[in-house]
Amino acid sequence: MASVTLKNVTKRFGKVTAVNSANLEIRDGEFIILLGPSGCGKSTMLYSIAGLEDITEGEIYIGERLMNRVPPKARNIAMVFQDYALYPHMNVYDNMAFGLKLRKASRQEIERRVHEAAALLGIGHLLQRRPRELSGGQRQRVALGRAIVREPDVFLMDEPLSNLDAILRVQMRAEISKLHQRLQTTFIYVTHDQVEAMTMGDRIVVLKDGVIQQVGTPQEVYAHPANVFVAGFIGTPSMTFMTGMLTPHGSTLAFDTGTFRVPLPRASAEAAGRYADRAVIAGVRPSAIQVLPSGGADGVKPPETCIVAAKVDVVEPMGDVAYIFADVGGQSFTVRVDPTALPGVGQVVPLCLDGAALHLFDAETQQAIAIPMRQPAATISSP
């Protein structure tokens, strides 16, 4: 078990900078996710920690030890690859024992550890099989087993679930989480799948173009995205972004797109005070927009100011929830709606945009300037 520290780590391939002066402290025993779209440098960062890529600048520590010049085999790490990378010419047992044999572990020790890991993963009956005789899920378990028997300081996983089918992926996701709880070892897990990131990670590192955008717990990253990219990348469907001005509105400020205005609660307005009369980007999650009953108000009447009329373009029922894509003066909104009361395509519905749910970003730097006051509503029915 060990912490992992990156100090100003940069990796260039020729003129391309894959990782740009990354600083990161991964705590001992933490399950950390490197998340980002393809080409964001997350795999390069993982390979650098593994020592499979030499870094161009900076320092990588595992525990207290500087690893820059240490070859992968001496870093006491284990890695699970996207394509499993099982040795085809060895059976499952030998695949799992390979690393231990190279470390000159005793026969009994190897046997004990391989059988323990195999039992843990439910692959005890497969030990004599060759990798080509296994299904995708079984291969994935063997790859995990090969990592576990090594009892490494750090587990590195490079999109280990992306080659599995959807059902198996959900199942293995839970198993890897359980494995982490059981082993209490540092896990560094690369993925482009935000569901994996949100469900498995203690903390998420969001990357784009080789630069770390934000580091935080899944809830922090979701509720307080540091910039427009993180806000758009986390959450499905994505946030709706609008550009507009912050204009004075009574004693506070309002977000004004020219087509409609959304007043901000006092606290947000104070946080965004210096942006008065300046261009900003506002983001709003599909779950934070309410569709009002078109027949008129029954029950709690929302403030008149937040209502905008939107024309429904697309309706996407998903079973327990549904999304509509609705147009307001050329701006498309994604809105979560009650699947039992779907509006028709072409219908005009009144939307309620709550100023407290808006994420505000600087239009130039795209960095967050004001944090929404309340979490997005858990369900659309609760006002």
Partner 1 sequence: MSGSRYSLVRRILFPLGLAFFVVFSLAPFAWMVLSSFMFKAQLLTDPFALPPHFTLDNYVRLFTSPNDGVGAANFIHAVINSLGICAITTVISLIIGSIGGYAFARLRFPGKNALLLVLLAIQFLPAVTVIIPMFMMGRAVHLLDTWWILIFAYTSFALPLTLWIMRGYFESIPRSLENAARVDGCSRFGAFLRVVLPLSAPGFAATAIFTFLNAWDEFFFALIFTNTYAAKTLPVALSEFTGRHTVDFGLLMSGGVVANVLPVVIALSVQRYIVRGLTAGGVKG
* Residue numbers at the binding site for partner 1 (CB under 8 A): 47, 50-52, 71-73, 77-79, 81-89, 98-99, 102-103, 130-134, 136, 139, 146, 150, 156, 163
**With respect to partner 1, which residue has the nearer C-beta, 183 or 267?**
183
Query: Which residue, 83 or 313, is less far from partner 1 as judged by CB?
Result: 83
Nearer to partner 1, 31 or 84 (CB): 84
- In terms of Cβ atoms closer than 10 Å to its own Cβ (0-12, 13-18, 19+), residue 47 is buried
- The enclosing H or E element of 195 equals helix 194-200
Between 115 and 130, whose beta carbon lies closer to partner 1? 130
C-alpha to C-alpha distance for 109 and 111, rounded to whole angstroms? 5
Q: State in angstroms the smallest separation of the CB of 41 from partner 1.
A: 17
Residues 63, 29: Cα–Cα separation, whole Å: 11
Instruction: Name the minimum Å distance from CB 382 to partner 1.
Output: 44
Q: What is the DSSP letter of 367?
A: B
Q: Tell me how far CA of residue 60 lies from CA of 16, 151, 215, in angstroms.
A: 20, 21, 18
Pairing of strands 359-362, 368-370: antiparallel
CB of 84 within 8 A of CB of 142? yes
Closest distance of CB 53 from partner 1, Å: 10
Which residue lies nearer to partner 1 by CB, 52 or 170?
52
- Residue 327 CB, shortest distance to partner 1, in Å, is 42
User: DSSP per residue over 49-107, as a string?
Assistant: HHTSS--SEEEEEETTEE-TT--GGGS-EEEE-TT----TTS-HHHHHHHHHHHTT--H
Nearest to 164 by CA among 129, 135, 131, 190: 135
Closer of 54 and 270 to partner 1 (Cβ): 54
Cβ-based nearer residue to partner 1, 96 or 221: 96
Residue 34 contacts residue 217 (beta carbons within 8 Å): no
Q: Are 131 and 142 in contact (CB under 8 A)?
A: yes
Shortest approach of partner 1 to residue 50 CB, angstroms?
A: 6
Residue type, 177: S
Spatial separation of the C-alpha atoms in residues 258 and 289, rounded to whole Å: 19
User: Whose Cβ is closer to partner 1: residue 20's or residue 82's?
Assistant: 82
